[in-house]
Amino acid sequence: MPKTGEDAKLQVEQGFVFWDFEKGTNSGDQKKYTFSGTLKLFSLKKGQAPVVRPDGARSGFAITPGISGSNNKIDVAAGAAFVGGVDLAVNASADLSVTRTPAGGVNQITSIIVDNAGVISAVAGTEGTGFVATRGAAGGPPYIPVDKIELGQVKLTSNTDAPVLASEIDQNVMERYDIPSFVTVPEEAAIRMLTALDKRHTADVTKGIWAKHYEPVFNDIPEASNWKPVDQKADSKSGRTYDGVFSIGSKGLGEGSFEVMLKGENGEILSSVVNDTRWFRFYPDKFRTDHHLVCGDLTYDREYPPDNVMKASCKINGVVATIEKAS
């Protein structure tokens, strides 16, 4: 027998659980980082979209030979950075010591780092007879302590004390917050880097990807009917970039809709979420766990006829196409 919608249920995001800045969990590919929450959804309500802070420098931090002219010294300019979810304004550091190997192999790499308290320091690699790129290897750069960021490296080829030269400073290795680029994946409570992060930190881990976000809390919409999900339009404006297929804004999405009888609580629920971006959850059968998830901007047209029922015709301008979930 064909199934009707008499046992269906529609819900809307009306409450929220706040998650303050936390480090995302690496999914294993060094690209996708997931965050806390039972539902694994980021709220996109206006003013509550996720705030993402990948560890890394934002500006400044030029490293130069110590202006004092002292042996084995560098200066680091003031800068701004995200470290451990903290937005830092870091003071300059003068005459910071770097390591020269006292004997044996003369090639020594020292990394310049900053922590989430804004303290700039130096950590030395293992000496070697030549430079290598492998972290922790002889002649290679050191591993960077977790929850600190690398600002640059000083590469010395002599164990004789002397002033550091500009040619011995390398800042191409600086960890920046905006490299690589990333996108938010609200339907998975995740941040996806467009390029895999390198594992330069202690124990072969990547830099931290930090975010604060709101998780939706759903409430029933009584007396709802005629649910139409947001589906991908066949004529969406899309194409291909080096990172995959794209769809510009919500132009590639259709329009969802539903109707609600207006009486008491129904109208109050709608008025609290209209003209905002919310998640909707629709159960074709409220006695089962399978459901639709849709996120979009809600608008409505209300009718108050004297000889018929009062109702609201609601439209959802989708920002995330309908997701069908089993539970």
- Measured in residues, the chain has a length of 327
Q: What is the DSSP string of 208-265?
A: PEEEEEEEEEEEE-TTEEEEE---B-TT--EEEETTEEEE-TTTTB-EEEEEEE-STH
pLDDT digits (tens, 9 = 90+) for 165-219: 999 999 999 999 999 999 999 999 999 999 999 999 999 999 999 999 999 999 9
Structure tokens at 121: 């320091």
What pLDDT, on the 0 to 100 scale, is given for residue 106? 85
What pLDDT, on the 0 to 100 scale, is given for residue 105? 73
Give the torsion sign (CA, 32, 207, 247, 313): positive
Closest listed residue to residue 293, CA positions, set 302, 283, 303: 283
Cis peptide before 180 (omega within 30 of 0): yes
Q: Under a CB-based contact definition with an 8 Å cutoff, are residues 206 and 198 in contact?
A: yes
Q: Under a CB-based contact definition with an 8 Å cutoff, are residues 127 and 25 in contact?
A: no
Q: What are the residues whose beta carbons fall under 8 Å from the beta carbon of 73, sequence distance 6 or more?
A: 65, 66, 95, 96, 97, 98, 163, 164
What pLDDT, on the 0 to 100 scale, is given for residue 1? 46
Residue owning tokens 């294993």? 28
Q: For residues 266 and 77, what is the distance between their CA atoms, to the nearest angstrom?
A: 58
What pLDDT, on the 0 to 100 scale, is given for residue 241? 73
Q: For residues 67 and 75, what is the distance between their CA atoms, to the nearest angstrom?
A: 7
- Read off the pTM: 0.87
Strand 255-261 with 224-228, pairing: antiparallel
- pLDDT beneath 50: ranges in the chain: 1, 250
Residue owning tokens 């030269």? 165
Q: What is the DSSP string of 190-211?
A: EEEESSPPP--BTTTBPPPEEE
Q: For residues 165 and 27, what is the distance between their CA atoms, to the nearest angstrom?
A: 41
What pLDDT, on the 0 to 100 scale, is given for residue 267? 80
Q: What is the distance of C-alpha 36 from the center of its chain?
A: 13
What pLDDT, on the 0 to 100 scale, is given for residue 91? 98
Q: What are the residue boundaries of the structural domains of the chain, listed by start? A: 9-14+218-325, 56-170
pLDDT digits (tens, 9 = 90+) for 271-306: 899 999 999 999 999 999 999 999 999 999 998 888
